[in-house]
Amino acid sequence: MQIAKFTVGEAGEREVLRRVLAQLSPAEASLVGPGDDCAVIAADGDLVVTTDSMIEGPDFLLRWHSGFELGWKLAAVNLSDVGAMGATPTGLTVALACPKDTEVSLLEQIALGLNAACRELAPGCGVVGGDLSTAPVLTATVTAFGSMRGRAPVLRSGATPDDIVAYAGDLGLAGIGLSRLYAEDHALDELKARFPAALEAQLAPRPPVALGVAAAEAGASAMMDVSDGLSLDAARLASASGVTLDFSSELLQAAFGDQRGQSVTVYEMLTGGEDHGLLATFPADARLPAGFVVIGAVRDPRADEPVHLDGAPFEPRGWDPFVSAPGAPTR
């Protein structure tokens, strides 16, 4: 028996919205939810905001990501940016655009994934509003908000020499997952069985969102979400702070050489991309929150050498969407 597809073109905007909204639980701070011109969220300190798009082709493929994983990842990567300021996520808006022959059930699965990631990674946060439209490929933009709750944001620019460098989260796994997907595109189930940690990190990452607030409370001097590769993002933090970050291959190997059964090389840790962990610097006498491990130290700046490995310059490498993306489209 063939099960009939039910597409967004057949359903129309109102029915699609009804089905998508049914998958969502309200955000705690929500005062006015979906259905008016805007959502309204209770203010609780200064507003933190970030936005990130994922586009079918360069950013994901539907033969790799399920709808649920895609929704999960969309929420996770944005929540991670909010956490990296030392803020508490309070809400998301989601702009989804898709071809008219997209199945409504795919959008429902995306909504389920968005909701589940909020509940697990940032309890109290939820989808507060959005937009539906048509596009040649599935296109999703999430904007995430958070509240500073009276704290000062932890910027990239606050690291000083002799601070320690610490990291929380998966490191290098997502990049390994992506390279396995590209190399062996034919066998998703088999890959998931052989490389479970790497595939999960790529398809549905679990950033340590709540550790952002913990790091802020522990006195982190600088912090950022690592999304383009540890060495590339470290170079950005180093430049913003006017310092050099010196990673220790021994400390990296000890802490991240085996992650849930997946072996990861130091080079993979430094260049992977899409880790969505927290890179933070702390004063040398700080008590690190559980979940952070020391992986290096902050040094005086060296000209054109923002990143060192074991005291020697390391060329920062990572992801540039306009240059790197294997499927980056031209017209």
Residue placing its CB nearer to a second copy in the complex, 129 or 175: 129
What angle (nearest 5°) sits at the alpha carbon of residue 174, between those of residues 169 and 176? 125
Q: Among residues 186, 242, 219, 183, which one has the least CA distance to residue 86?
A: 219
Instruction: Enumerate residues 296-315 that contact a second copy by CB under 8 A.
Output: none
Exactly one of 67, 129, 172, 289 binds a second copy (CB under 8 A); that residue is 129
Site residues for a second copy, 177-196, by CB under 8 A, read: none
CA–CA gap between residue 3 and residue 176 (Å, rounded): 36
18-37: which residues touch a second copy (CB under 8 A)?
Answer: 31-32, 35-37
- Which strand (E) or helix (H) includes residue 31? strand 30-32
Write the Ramachandran bin of 214: left for phi over 0, alpha for psi from -120 to 50, otherwise beta: alpha
Q: Which is nearer to a second copy, 113 or 212 (CB)?
A: 212
326 Cβ partners below 8 Å, 6+ apart? Answer: 182
Listed in order, strand segments (DSSP E) in 184-282 are 222-226, 244-247, 258-259, 262-263, 277-282
Of the pair 153, 301, the CB lying nearest a second copy is at: 153
Window 37-56: residues binding a second copy (CB under 8 A): 37-53, 55
Residues 63-102, interacting with a second copy (CB under 8 A): 81-82, 84-85, 87, 91, 93-95, 97, 99-101
Cβ neighbours, 10 Å, residue 37: 6
Read off the DSSP letter of residue 7. B
* Closest separation in Å from C-beta 99 to a second copy: 5
Comparing CB distances to a second copy, the nearer of 50 and 248 is 50
Q: Does 14 bind a second copy (CB under 8 A)?
A: yes
Q: Closer CB to a second copy, residue 142 or residue 251? A: 142
Letters for 210-249 (x = contact with a second copy by CB under 8 A, - = none) are --------------xx--------------x---------
CB of 93 to a second copy, least distance (A): 4
CB contact at 8 A, 163 and 281:
yes
Binding mask 244-283 for a second copy (x = CB under 8 A): ----------------------------------------
| CA-closest candidate to residue 96, choices 122, 67, 61, 120 | 67
Q: Tell me the closest approach of the beta carbon of residue 153 to a second copy, in angstroms.
A: 5
Kindly state the smallest distance separating residue 126's Cβ from a second copy, in Å.
13
x/- map, 131-170, a second copy, by CB under 8 A: xxxxxxx-x-x-x-xxxx----x-xx--------------
Structure tokens at 116: 């589940």
Using CB under 8 A as the binding rule, whether residue 326 contacts a second copy is answered as no
Q: Write the single-letter amino acid at 74.
A: L
Which CB, 97 or 188, lies closer to a second copy?
A: 97
Q: Specify burial of residue 190 (Cβ count, 10 A radius: 0-12, 13-18, 19+).
A: exposed
Task: Give the C-alpha separation, 134 to 241, whole Å.
Answer: 42
